Amino acid sequence: MNKEELSTVLKKHKLWLAGKEGGESADLSGADLSGAYLRVANLSGADLNGANLNYANLMCANLKGAYLMGAYLINANLRYANLSDANLIGADLSDACLSGADLDGARLKNTKF
């Protein structure tokens, strides 16, 4: 996925979160977002199942209630990210930086750290 496509998805997701016309929940399932700059992005409730987020910068991102089943977050920067209530079942967070991350209520069965 290129930067322009990702930007469009994020804009529509922002509208969806605000309940505005033209909004659409972000479906990034299976997307290759390796190395993506998503610092402070609001992906609350987004579908990121199976996405490749290796080396992505998700510092301070809002991933509350996001679906990250089987996602790859190897070496991802998740410092201070909100992962509360996120579904991380089977995700790979090997060598990810989780300093200050909120994992309250996150589903972590078979998650690799």
Cα–Cα distance, 86 to 44 (Å, whole number): 9
Cα–Cα distance, 99 to 91 (Å, whole number): 18
Q: What is the pLDDT along the chain (113 residues), one digit of tens a residue?
A: 999 999 999 999 999 999 999 999 999 999 999 999 999 999 999 999 999 999 999 999 999 999 999 999 999 999 999 999 999 999 999 999 999 999 999 999 999 99
- In CATH, the number for domain 25-113 is 2.160.20.80
Cα 77 to the center of its chain, rounded Å? 11
Name the pTM for this structure.
0.95
Residue 50 CB neighbours (<10 A): 17
pLDDT number for residue 100: 98
Q: Which of 40, 104, 20, 38 is nearest to 51 (CA)?
A: 38
Structure-token match 């929940």, residue found: 25
